[in-house]
Chains A and B, each alone.
Chain A
């Protein structure tokens, strides 16, 4: 099974900050990597698919990069509505494993 790790597990940031979250796969997954945002009481929302493709309707301050085993989600200027938990997920092989999540809260 491919293991997904994320760092950090949580972070505190201010509005306007640049935020970077890292996701690492235990073996190469090419570009089969998705990023999701989840707010309390809501279902996950797709932000980025195929490592770097921005989902329709998602603000351009979100971007993704990487391939192989190392991936990054960047929020260029954190907005109040971005405080949430972020998950990465690999779709290269089964099980379709998720990272443990990164909680972004207000400093």
Chain B
């Protein structure tokens, strides 16, 4: 069974830092592109960051560029999001998300249950 389990969320003051982790199991993690997606309270879904299967290609949303860093450890089947200089508008539930993949057949995306990040003084 595919599982993605996020951790590391919590309450942090503006300007502070947090590191989110996502533990993957039930699939070959190193074959899949991964993303972080967030949802602020009462708002829609916002893509945050992408990392290729090998970690060599990375993208960020403009809203987090220069403050957040995505990384992965394929040996540990883990995805990370280092969040620095946090702002109130970063308050959201953060989801780890396996990408849709085509390898002769379509492999569906899969999301974790999310971890709440609250930025407040």
In this assembly, does B106 line the interface, its C-beta being within 8 Å of a C-beta of chain A? yes
Whether the Cβ atoms of A100 and B106 lie closer than 8 Å is: no
- In the complex, what's the smallest C-beta–C-beta distance from A49 to chain B, in angstroms? 4
Size of the B side of the interface (Cβ < 8 Å), in residues, is: 21
Task: Indicate if A62 sits at the interface (CB-CB under 8 A).
Answer: no
A-side interface residues, number (CB < 8 Å): 21
Write the nearest CB–CB distance from B115 to chain A, whole angstroms: 11
Residues from 50 to 107 in A contacting B, C-beta threshold 8 Å = 50, 53, 55, 87, 89, 91, 94-98, 100-101
Interface residues of A (CB under 8 A from B): 31-32, 34, 36, 43-44, 46, 49-50, 53, 55, 87, 89, 91, 94-98, 100-101
A-B pairs with the 9 shortest C-beta distances? A91-B100, A50-B106, A94-B59, A49-B108, A98-B45, A96-B47, A94-B50, A95-B47, A101-B44
